[in-house]
Structure 1
Amino acid sequence: MANISISRVKREFAEVVKSEEAKRCGICIKMLNENNFTKLLGEITGPPDTPYEGGKFLVDIEIPDSYPFNPPKMKFITRIWHPNISSVTGAICLDILKDNWAAALTLRTVLMSLQVLLSAAEPDDPQDAVVAKQYNENIHLFMKTARHWSEAYAKARPIKTQDFHEKVRKLSETGFSDDSCRTALSKSGWDEQRGMETLLDS
């Protein structure tokens, strides 16, 4: 890794750690290995008044040698139901991580932008077409599904998705994993028969 990248990342890492604003927003960053600034772990707290509220979402951060002239590679490790984040791979559709990257941007501003994305989805420019379709066609079902995923994967406080947990449990009794059943049901509008058909077709 080039010296300019290392010094820049060290400075930005310290900026996030010391930032009162980041702490207040529930954003932090950690090193995975001592003295290795190319692989980092970000954490974002789901923002209030969203289905992600209170959840802890981990983000894989990979710093390229060409940083800061090229953006960091980021993806969600914690599974999430969101139009702009793949429910399968965690890939993120966010303009500043692609064509609209600028060298003036920092790891702190990118993590805060990801948190804003959780508050303001852009379903017309989706990363996950199935989630975006649900968002556009049945926002109530989307909100409840996203909350359920936050409870299941991001340790958000359980609220009102116990019936979804029960459907996952029932379907998993057929021998499929909870994750597979949850994904199939989410894609099938929580219809158990369609969920089973989705599982059998996959």
Structure 2
Amino acid sequence: MKLEMSNIAFTRLQRECKEVVTNTEIAQTGIMIEILNESLTDIKGQIRGPPDTPYAGGLFDLEIKIPDSYPFSPPKIKFVTKIWHPNVSSQTGVICLDILKDQWAASLTLRTVLLSIQALMCSPEPKDPQDAVVAKQYMENPALFKSTAEFWTVRFARGKSGENEDYKSRVEKLRDMGVREEEAISVLSCNNWDLNKATVYIFS
């Protein structure tokens, strides 16, 4: 038999959701949520890319699933919008953040979790990566990492900065070969935008 969420948890979640929805200070930091069902177990989060990062100007959607054991277990959160970041899987959107795992405490709230994810966007932790390929690029070639993350922000997160024409033309070349755009961007990014390597990877 499935355990229903307790009244205490439900009341607390209502309060937490209200806090994020009505607090103008939180809105200014670029964090929003949208409740998707009456039981408050499915929530859509959105984070605006922080200024002075490759994600600036982008809007990143998050899937938030609240377990029945909340607040004694952490919410399950992942990026729905694709993002190039050492602590987020570029394929699945899964986030590597200690408070979503073993450092969770019942005193934490949706607001603190979303602010922590936004802070992670400002200061990646490449030594504790979720995506080893991105982390390697971040540590070995920071400029390439930055331009790649900016390109992903423009393509996937409705970012406003100008698109990298060089990267764009390489994506087009793979698309002309019948490769889906998302796959083309992903494989090029993983191969440091080397078109030959990316082509070999896809077609071998």
TM > 0.5 fold call:
yes
Could you say what secondary structure the match of 1:74 adopts? strand
Alpha-carbon contact 2:154-2:163 (below 8 Å) kept: no
Q: C-alpha offsets along residues 25-67 of structure 1, whole Å, 9 cap, x if unaligned?
A: 110000123x130000000000000000010000000000110
Question: Which residue of the other structure, out of 1, 13, 18, is the alignment partner of 1:14?
Answer: 18
Q: C-alpha offsets along residues 153-195 of structure 1, whole Å, 9 cap, x if unaligned?
A: 0000132512111211111100010001001100011010001
1:131 & 1:94 partners in 2: Cα distance? 16
Question: Which residue of the other structure, out of 33, 41, 62, is the alignment partner of 2:65?
Answer: 62
Q: Does 1:94 align with 2:97?
A: yes
Partner of 1:4: 8
1:184 & 1:75 partners in 2: Cα distance? 21
Question: Which residue of the other structure, out of 123, 128, 131, is the alignment partner of 2:131?
Answer: 128
Q: Does 1:79 align with 2:85?
A: no
Alpha-carbon contact 1:131-1:187 (below 8 Å) kept: yes
1:154 & 1:162 partners in 2: Cα distance? 18
Could you say what secondary structure the match of 1:148 adopts? helix
Q: Does 1:183 align with 2:186?
A: yes
In structure 1, list runs of 5 or more residues that go unmatched.
none
Could you say what secondary structure the match of 2:77 adopts? strand
What is the alpha-carbon root mean square deviation over aligned residues?
0.9
Q: Structure 2 counterpart of 1:14, which letter?
A: K
1:121 & 1:107 partners in 2: Cα distance? 20
Residues 33-182 of structure 1 mapped to structure 2, 5 A cutoff: 33=37, 35-182=38-185
Q: Structure 1 counterpart of 2:101, which letter?
A: K
Identity rate, percent:
51
Give the TM-score normalised by the residue count of structure 1.
0.97
Partner of 1:199: 202
In structure 2, list runs of 5 or more residues that go unmatched.
none
Could you say what secondary structure the match of 1:60 adopts? strand
Q: Does 1:29 align with 2:33?
A: yes
Could you say what secondary structure the match of 1:30 adopts? strand
Deviation at 1:77, TM superposition (A): 0.2
Could you say what secondary structure the match of 2:63 adopts? strand
Deviation at 1:200, TM superposition (A): 1.9
Q: Structure 2 counterpart of 1:32, which letter?
A: L
